[in-house]
């Protein structure tokens, strides 16, 4: 079993729709959680950190469920520019080597 698992997609949704995807992690001792966005053939960029209480940034909401060991990302009122691959990142501790990137979920927004 992979340490961080994501549905690879692609999720193909119309503009304006709400879309959500989850990421599961295997190590219950994981401490930090993040969502990154990666455009095709570009570098990953931090989208948002995920806090225990959940957090929102504009149209994006991230949730953490420690009991079930998953994090989620919800995108409301999706835009064409949201088309990208979303990477789930889980860290057991602050060591660089303990940062695990998921392989990503591809999202495609159609007009």
Partner 1 sequence: NAGVMQNPRHLVRRRGQEARLRCSPMKGHSHVYWYRQLPEEGLKFMVYLQKENIIDESGMPKERFSAEFPKEGPSILRIQQVVRGDSAAYFCASSPLGTSGSWLDTQYFGPGTRLTVL
Interaction mask 31-70, partner 1, x per CB under 8 A: -x-x------xxxxxx--x---------------------
Nearer to partner 1 by Cβ, of 74 and 99: the residue is 99
Interaction of residue 75 with partner 1, rule CB under 8 A: no
Interaction of residue 95 with partner 1, rule CB under 8 A: yes
Beta strands in the chain (DSSP E): 4-6, 11-14, 19-25, 32-38, 44-50, 55-57, 60-65, 70-75, 84-91, 99-101, 105-110
Residues in the site for partner 1, rule: CB under 8 A? 4, 8, 32, 34, 41-46, 49, 87, 89, 91, 94-97, 99-104
């Amino acid at each position: 079993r992979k340490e961080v698992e994501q549905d690879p997609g692609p999720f193909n949704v119309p503009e304006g729709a709400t879309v959500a995807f989850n990421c599961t992690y295997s190590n219950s001792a994981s401490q930090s959680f993040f969502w990154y966005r990666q455009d095709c053939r570009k570098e990953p960029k931090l989208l948002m950190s995920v806090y225990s209480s959940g957090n929102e940034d504009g149209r994006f909401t991230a949730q953490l469920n420690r009991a079930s060991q998953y994090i989620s990302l919800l995108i409301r009122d999706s835009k064409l520019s949201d088309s990208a691959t979303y990477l789930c990142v889980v860290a057991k501790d602050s060591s660089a080597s303990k940062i695990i990137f998921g392989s990503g979920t591809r999202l495609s927004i159609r007009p």
